[in-house]
Homo-oligomer: A and B are copies of this chain.
């Protein structure tokens, strides 16, 4: 069984608007609902867990009812970092969807993920231990320990920017979180990072520019343009 964990715990916004980005309304619908509908309508997804901050849970529950998101089986509280939120989502999955084989972790603010990416991630986590969509890196990236002089050159062709959803063998991934220190969870920069570091084999699958995270006003405008056709 495959469970999607949707991260909607963020409460801030860098956009200078009155609500977190995943709750902004585009064409009468909050962004999170666009995202949830994709997982609701995907035949390979059985259950959905939503990680949400306390003050927004009622709002999310209303929308879950309004849009007929019948796969939603539980709500987990937001954590103090993204990875803490993921851990909360894993525990909620354990409680509400204990038969989960693969968990697939996505950002509510990435409402244009394709069915193909979701598929590829599930297949990757089934055949290997986890999978993550990536896109190539456009910038020339330099490595510097102190930020003052170049220490190392990196081949651009070998660098990949991680997107979501990241998908994992559920029990293995949960067990890592149980076994590590809180500090390790706090300092994890990507959800595949902690998996890779603890020996899980992570497959890279082809992401998409379209699968961007809505962060800035420009991102929001791009999403609006796409939704309005």
Contact = CB atoms under 8 A, between A and B. Distances in A.
A139 B142 contact: no
Contacts of A148: 203-204
Given A150-B204, A153-B197, A158 B144 contact: yes
A221 B140 CA distance: 24
Contacts of A159: 141-143, 154
Nearest to A162: B140
Count copies of this chain in the complex: 2
A40 interface: no
Contacts of A204: 142, 144, 147-150
A222 interface: yes
A86 B212 CA distance: 33
Interface size class of chain A, counting residues whose CB lies under 8 Å from the partner chain: 35 or more
Nearest to A147: B204
A153 B218 contact: no
Contacts of A162: 139-142
Contact of A143 (B140, B145, B154): B154
Contacts of A161: 139-142
A98 interface: no
A117 B134 CA distance: 32
Interface of A: 128, 132, 134, 137, 139-145, 147-151, 153-156, 158-162, 189-190, 192-193, 196-197, 201-204, 218, 221-222
